[in-house]
Amino acid sequence: ELDSLKSKYNTYSDIAKSFFLRSLVLDSLFVKPEDILKAKDEYNLNIDVNKPVSICLIRINKYSELSNEDILENPKLVKFAVQNIAIKICRRHFPCEPVDMGRDYFILIQNPENLSQENLINIFREVQSTCQSLLGISLSITISRTIKHYSQLTDLYNQTAGNSNYRVILGNHLIIYDEYIKSLSLSTDTKKVFKIQDNLIENLNKPMDVILKHIDDLFEAFGELDYNSIVFSIVRLQKILFDVINDINSKNPDSFIELPYSLNYNMLEINSLDEIKEELIALIAEIKSKELPEPSRSNTSSIALSVKNIIDREYSDFDLNASKISDILNISSSRLSTIFNKYMNMSIPEYLNNVRLVKAAELLKSSDYSISRIMQMVGISNESYFYRLFKSKYKMTPREYAISFNGNENEPV
């Protein structure tokens, strides 16, 4: 079947029609009614965009791996075959037109007529099963809501493309639709995930069964987040793992560790959280097999003392933070934070803020500098942030603190 389509694919001349349909999808507000009428006659459109329309986004799972299979040597041709199968099945039930959106997916613009959501889902299940049996191809399909006017098509496409990303949470070979996404009640609060991530990194030296429990908790928490929050959380995890791995690689170059594909590339390339979980477990197993022995207590305490000395000396530097200190000491920021927390019972930012506030209080007590000048002298640039920190520690504002010691209510601010 692929061979029979090849000549048609290579001689496909309907470029103008494809260009018009892409313009309609991407810039529907700028397409005029007369353009629609002209296109319908000129390109023999199978749809009527002046009637209610919807979109179906069909994504080929693991598209980038298709070129590794001999029978599927041309991924673009395979996508063309999938597109033809989808059209053949769908046009039995409703008018539709395909629009190739590039890379691993295309969409169908369709007039669903009076078909119910359940009927649409069954039709696209047939598309999935046919492509699976004929081509061995797995599809993720996202069905949009129906709109009354084509001018809303661009907004509808953007919403549908966003919903299609939920295959990362829900898994492959699913049919995703608007009402289903809304029913999930997903959260944007990443605090729980961040805490589990930190616990995971801090327990890398523990037995693997303990680590696996943290990983299970992490991915269970991922399942409660919306897609954008998952991406943000994965990027954070990626940064932490980069720090850990770079620390190991710098100390033991003969045992080089590399981040796996799903933790090192665009989230849009990832098919599911299960894929990330599998590679994360394999990566941590590799880290544990190559990680250097834990440093002695004296060595870690000297590192914590070095951090303390840097802060005590450089607190007036506006740019001083944990990342800059880790660069100075040539230690990953995640490892440095763990060591400092362990031996100082507070985080690096907490200690830095405390030093700055103590110095500011001393200056308010013993000098006639303005508050803005004192802020500069202790390395804090944000006035509201300084007032909030100061009042939290001393239970009064900087001005009230200065007056309580020198009695000068006209102290400059």
Residue 179, pLDDT score = 82
- Average the pLDDT over 197-218 and give the result: 86
Q: Which residue has the tokens 């691993």?
A: 104
Residue 185 has pLDDT above 80, yes or no: no
- Average the pLDDT over 239-260 and give the result: 67
Burial 323-346 (b: 16+ CB within 10 A, else e): eebbeebebbbbbbbbbbbebbee
Q: Cα separations (Å) of 228 from 156, 219, 222, 276, 381?
A: 18, 15, 11, 16, 31
251-294, pLDDT tens digit by residue? 665 556 666 655 555 544 566 788 788 888 888 887 777 654 45
> Residue 368's CB: how many other CB atoms inside 10 A?
12
Residue 11, pLDDT score = 46
Grade residue 297 by pLDDT with cuts at 50, 70 and 90.
Answer: very low
76-135, pLDDT tens digit by residue? 788 888 999 999 999 999 999 999 987 789 999 999 888 888 999 999 999 999 999 988
Higher pLDDT, 23 or 240: 23
The pLDDT mean for the chain works out to: 82
5-56, pLDDT tens digit by residue? 555 555 444 678 888 999 999 999 998 989 888 888 888 888 988 889 999 9
> What's the token pair of residue 102?
């590039």
407: left (phi over 0), alpha (psi -120 to 50) or beta: left
> What's the token pair of residue 156?
């509808």
- Average the pLDDT over 202-224 and give the result: 86
> What's the token pair of residue 284?
């941590």
Residue 298, pLDDT score = 47
Higher pLDDT, 212 or 293: 212
Residue 195, pLDDT score = 85
319-377, pLDDT tens digit by residue? 899 888 888 877 777 778 888 888 888 899 999 999 999 999 999 888 888 999 999 99
* Residue 166: DSSP 8-state: T
Residue 67 has pLDDT above 70, yes or no: no
Distance between terminal CA atoms of the chain?
A: 80
